[in-house]
Amino acid sequence: MSQVTISKIVEGAANLVIRVDLRNEGIPEELTDHVFLSPSDCVPARANDQPNFRIMQMWYSLAWFDVVLKFGTLQPEFVWTLARDSGNYIDFRSFGGIVDTRSNPPGDENGKLLLSTNGFSTPGAHGSIILALRKLT
């Protein structure tokens, strides 16, 4: 069975740090556009009809699979690829982070963060991602 566990590490008025743990316990399946963070998960809940998060930093370690992060739209928008069998830290703060700036077509953003996997169908595949996010106003 595949398991995706989301934990909030810190949440403030303007910032959010989450941990995403992924583990395949024997089911040969990939995750496709799996919603791992929605604006309604925030305290207080935020509107679901606009970009809500700016990715500031990422830490990750993945064994046997890759992850593609996406912003939620009618056609999910590619954000970043996290490569398999590696542990990495990425800092986007020097240029203000990565945000969903899609404007064409306008109004199709839903504010959600999604992930898809490649190689996660291998039993025993596992990994963790920590995302430091800034909430958009």
Q: How far is the CA of 55 from the CAs of 49, 71, 116, 131, 132, in angstroms?
A: 18, 11, 17, 7, 6
2-135 under CATH 2.60.120, yes or no: yes
Taking only the tens place, the pLDDT of each residue in 22-71 is 999 888 889 999 999 999 999 888 877 677 899 999 999 999 899 999 99
Cis peptide before 51 (omega within 30 of 0): no
CB 82 within 8 A of CB 129: yes
Q: What is the pLDDT of residues 58-106, one digit of tens each?
A: 999 999 899 999 998 778 889 999 998 777 999 999 999 998 766 555 5
Q: What is the pTM of this model?
A: 0.89
- CA-CA distance, 30 to 107, in Å (whole number)? 29
